[in-house]
A and B are shown apart, each in its own frame.
Chain A
Amino acid sequence: LLKCDGEGARAVPLAGHVGFDSMPDQLVNKSVNHGFCFNILCVGETGLGKSTLMDTLFNTKFEGEPTQHNQPGVQLKSNTYELQESNVRLKLTVVNTVGFGDQINKEDSYKSIVEFIDTQFEAYLQEELKIKRTLHSYHDTRIHACLYFIAPTGHSLKSLDLVTMKKLDSKVNIIPIIAKSDAISKSELTKFKIKITSELVSNGVQIYQFPTDDETVAEINSTMNGHLPFAVVGSTEEVKIGNKMVKARQYPWGTVQVENENHCDFVKLREMLIRVNMEDLREQTHTRHYELYRRCKLEEMGFKDTDPDCKPFSLQETYEAKRNEFMGDLQKKEEEMRQMFVQRVKEKEAELKEAEKELHEKFDRLKKLHQDEKKKLEDKKKSLDDELNGFKQKKTAAELLQSQAQQAGGSTTLKRDKERKK
């Protein structure tokens, strides 16, 4: 292969304005024309206000009835919405865990979530591996952010939370949040956050860290990392405070304002999730989580980059070998099936022949029986006829005798009788 290594790039100064500083704009324009997509997974027990929070975050009312508590297992329900703000079109997909935490035995609760995430990775991988593919117009369904809703107990994480987050942390960007945090007082909240963070650390759960490598956002991201998990309150109802209408929850003892940073961390969440790090969340999903999935999946399927003799294998070579193996198996199976079919046909044929033979024999037997019967009947008929004739003769003779006797003792009758009797 002729390599293009360019003899090592060196920096050269420009003597004037060239114009490639428009490249970021060109790139952004292309993306604007294309539209963006962002996929959020909300994991949490029923009743923690997941749907309300999504409505509040995106300032819209997503449809859906409140979910019931009697689900047999954890299901994932996904809805896609088209949002637009100025010239940006966003295809937002919100996936909700339905029935999470409702079962008596929650051992398998995390499984359907992991399966769902893997399915999206698999779909992308399949597209990427296609021969004729259209990656640039592919609707990306991979989960970019997982909001994990922690119940506001004020004590510590539940074991279900720890187990689930541990299973998810290598597959998705996890942002833990304390739901319905207006149930906790400020001092309890600080203790709660510290407890949660230390439990996450001691259990080795890797949550998403807001990136601090770009100096433009390093400071704000670094500060926000210290505020995790975010204590949020969601509300789509508006209350008049002063002369403004604000999103709030009204209690007899006061009003919790969603966008008041003294009341809760909603603004922080919105800032981090949407306004500052949406692109990074998408990039991490693609370059870290997806790559890990892909690597594991391909290795599982038997592909490798180099063989023991250090000769690089190409994916195609291994694929070819596997394909031939598969085709071989397929052919063998086909042959087996064909043999079996032929055998069955033979057997059936033999059975049918046997049956036919039996039928013939039966027919012959019946025919003979019939003939015998017929003969018997004929013989009987003949003997009956003979009997009948005999009887008739006797009858005629007796009648004649009677009439002769009636014609009074005339010797002529006797004579006639005698003559007759001759």
Chain B
Amino acid sequence: VATVGLFYVGIDAILEQMRRKAMKQGFELNIMIVGQSGLGKSTLMNTLFKSKVSRKSVVSTPEERIPKTIEIKSISHDIEEKGVRMKLTVIDTPGFGDHINNENCWQPIMKFINDQYEQYLQEEINIDRKKRIPDSRVHCCMYFIPPTGHCLRPLDVEFMSRLSKVVNIVPVIAKADTLTLEERDFFKQTIREELRANGIDVYPQKEFDEDSDDRMINDKIREMIPFAVVGSNQEYQVNGKRLLGRKTKWGTIEVENIAHCEFAHLRDLLIRTHMQNIKDITSSIHYEVYRVRRLNETNGQPNAQPPNTLVNPQQANGVAAQHQVLTHEM
């Protein structure tokens, strides 16, 4: 760094120092994928991260089986790009929504999420604790909505209503290549209205916009969600270029073409622009809410299982109300 006369102190060199530290430490990201089987969840994960990161790709199963109860299966990968190392953990939830009676299918998922908060909390309150507490908390839960084109199903509403209070939910319309653009827009609008009507705050939550710049950017995103996505691991030759796509008799759907589907928007949001923000909301809001609740349990035995039901899932302001509670007392 060249000194320009006497007037440069070098305070801004801290940015470079931070960058160096981040590169050395690497990053962690934990994504959960939830939705009925057959909605292309694994394919989408592989498309997002341009490699075989989904559990299915790794663990070869002799036959497609739907487990009797919902299972939570996670798999981690170390990926690296331009010197930046990331530990990506994909958490799959086979069995969700696949049974005849899907009552309480959200429970094991809620329990899993809370268990990760619990694990973090236990480590955090240790006397002798690790330098860097391993972060297994679910940063983002992608919820796959089947492309019916009409409206949300009761299961969708129930799940998102409950889970949006403890984790960042990113809803996506799966296999969107079965919807025309008009059908897609109508579907999205209906979904947005239904989310609003049920008080479901999906990511990016309005309450957590930090300033007016944030709000402006996030408002645009909120106008577009849920993203209608198509996933693919196959490349095809289109106009002289090799592109990821799905080939049909009537044409090739280009996954990364925003005129065809919104995959690129999802990828940009999740990975290129808002990844840090998603993690921050998880650690400074969702985790803190859990911690407050846990530490306030005066009658409970500290080693008892944390509650996995929230008292009033239809509460109008969801996470916002809890956030208010959090910021009110100071």
- Which residues of A are at the interface with B, using a C-beta cutoff of 8 A? 1-33, 36, 57-59, 83, 85-88, 90, 131-136, 214, 216-217, 238, 244-247, 259, 270-271, 274-280, 283, 287, 291, 294-295, 298-299, 303-305, 314-317, 320
Docked complex Cα distance between A23 and B294 (Å): 32
What would 4 more interface pairs be, CB under 8 Å, given A5-B76, A131-B292?
A20-B275, A132-B326, A305-B127, A314-B125
Chain B contacts for A87, CB-based, 8 A: 12
Docked complex Cα distance between A22 and B84 (Å): 8
Instruction: Choose one: A11, A21, A279, A316; the contact of B18 (CB below 8 Å).
Output: A279
* Contact bitstring B291-323, A, C-beta under 8 A = 1, else 0: 110111010001100000000000000000000
Task: Give the residue name and chain of the A residue nearest to B296 (CB).
Answer: A131
Query: Is B115 an interface position by the 8 A CB rule?
Result: yes
* Contact bitstring B1-27, A, C-beta under 8 A = 1, else 0: 101011111111111011111111001
* Contact A9/B87 with A134-B330, A247-B6, A259-B6 known, Cβ cut-off 8 Å: yes
B290 to chain A, nearest CB (A): 12
* Contact bitstring B115-133, A, C-beta under 8 A = 1, else 0: 1101100100111110100
- The answer to whether A88 touches B11 (Cβ under 8 A) is yes
B118 to chain A, nearest CB (A): 6
Q: Is the interface of B mostly helix, strand, loop or mixed?
A: mixed
Docked complex Cα distance between A26 and B329 (Å): 30
- The answer to whether B136 touches A23 (Cβ under 8 A) is no
A16 to chain B, nearest CB (A): 4
Instruction: Choose one: A5, A57, A278, A295; the contact of B127 (CB below 8 Å).
Output: A295
Interface size on B, residues (CB 8 A): 86
Query: Is B50 an interface position by the 8 A CB rule?
Result: yes
- Which residues of B are at the interface with A, using a C-beta cutoff of 8 A? 1, 3, 5-15, 17-24, 27, 29-30, 48-53, 72, 74-84, 86-87, 89, 91, 111-112, 115-116, 118-119, 122, 125-129, 131, 136, 210, 267-268, 271-277, 280, 284, 288, 291-292, 294-296, 298, 302-303, 325-327, 329-330
Chain A contacts for B122, CB-based, 8 A: 314
* Contact A134/B327 with A1-B118, A4-B30, A14-B81 known, Cβ cut-off 8 Å: yes
Instruction: Choose one: B21, B79, B82, B89; the contact of A6 (CB below 8 Å).
Output: B89
Chain B contacts for A299, CB-based, 8 A: 127
Instruction: Choose one: A132, A246, A279, A315; the contact of B292 (CB below 8 Å).
Output: A132
A240 to chain B, nearest CB (A): 13
Docked complex Cα distance between A317 and B81 (Å): 45
Chain A contacts for B129, CB-based, 8 A: 291
- The answer to whether A11 touches B78 (Cβ under 8 A) is yes
Task: Give the residue name and chain of the A residue nearest to B305 (CB).
Answer: A1
Docked complex Cα distance between A303 and B126 (Å): 9
- The answer to whether B74 touches A23 (Cβ under 8 A) is no
- The answer to whether B280 touches A131 (Cβ under 8 A) is no
- The answer to whether A274 touches B84 (Cβ under 8 A) is no
* Contact A18/B11 with A59-B6, A217-B20, A287-B131 known, Cβ cut-off 8 Å: no
* Contact A19/B131 with A6-B75, A24-B23, A314-B302 known, Cβ cut-off 8 Å: no
- The answer to whether A4 touches B11 (Cβ under 8 A) is no
- The answer to whether B127 touches A7 (Cβ under 8 A) is no
- The answer to whether A24 touches B19 (Cβ under 8 A) is yes
Question: Can you list 7 contacts pairing A with B, beta carbon distance less than 8 Å?
Answer: A12-B77, A19-B272, A21-B81, A24-B84, A59-B9, A136-B280, A303-B127
Chain A contacts for B1, CB-based, 8 A: 275
B238 to chain A, nearest CB (A): 15
Docked complex Cα distance between A198 and B122 (Å): 44
- The answer to whether B210 touches A4 (Cβ under 8 A) is no
- The answer to whether B127 touches A298 (Cβ under 8 A) is yes
- The answer to whether B128 touches A274 (Cβ under 8 A) is no
Task: Give the residue name and chain of the A residue nearest to B283 (CB).
Answer: A136
Chain A contacts for B271, CB-based, 8 A: 18-20, 22
Chain A contacts for B274, CB-based, 8 A: 26
A11 to chain B, nearest CB (A): 5
Docked complex Cα distance between A57 and B9 (Å): 7
* Contact A23/B128 with A275-B10, A278-B14 known, Cβ cut-off 8 Å: no
- The answer to whether A27 touches B127 (Cβ under 8 A) is no
Task: Give the residue name and chain of the B residue nearest to A299 (CB).
Answer: B127
- The answer to whether B295 touches A131 (Cβ under 8 A) is yes
Docked complex Cα distance between A21 and B12 (Å): 21
Task: Give the residue name and chain of the B residue nearest to A273 (CB).
Answer: B10
* Contact A133/B51 with A7-B76, A23-B22, A85-B12 known, Cβ cut-off 8 Å: no
Chain A contacts for B119, CB-based, 8 A: 1, 3
- The answer to whether A24 touches B22 (Cβ under 8 A) is yes
Chain B contacts for A314, CB-based, 8 A: 122, 125, 302-303
- The answer to whether A316 touches B302 (Cβ under 8 A) is yes
Which 8 A/B pairs are nearest by Cβ-Cβ distance? A6-B76, A9-B76, A279-B17, A26-B276, A275-B10, A315-B125, A19-B272, A21-B82
B81 to chain A, nearest CB (A): 4
Chain B contacts for A259, CB-based, 8 A: 3, 6
B45 to chain A, nearest CB (A): 12
Chain A contacts for B3, CB-based, 8 A: 259
Instruction: Choose one: B18, B74, B288; the contact of A7 (CB below 8 Å).
Output: B74
* Contact A276/B296 with A4-B89, A26-B275 known, Cβ cut-off 8 Å: no
Task: Give the residue name and chain of the B residue nearest to A296 (CB).
Answer: B127
Chain B contacts for A12, CB-based, 8 A: 51-53, 77-79
A272 to chain B, nearest CB (A): 11
Docked complex Cα distance between A87 and B12 (Å): 7
Docked complex Cα distance between A330 and B24 (Å): 51
Docked complex Cα distance between A280 and B12 (Å): 15
Docked complex Cα distance between A305 and B125 (Å): 9
- The answer to whether A277 touches B330 (Cβ under 8 A) is no
Instruction: Choose one: B6, B51, B84; the contact of A15 (CB below 8 Å).
Output: B51
* Contact A22/B273 with A59-B7, A246-B6, A303-B127 known, Cβ cut-off 8 Å: yes
Chain A contacts for B49, CB-based, 8 A: 14, 18
Docked complex Cα distance between A132 and B87 (Å): 30
A176 to chain B, nearest CB (A): 21
Docked complex Cα distance between A353 and B82 (Å): 93
Task: Give the residue name and chain of the A residue nearest to B53 (CB).
Answer: A12
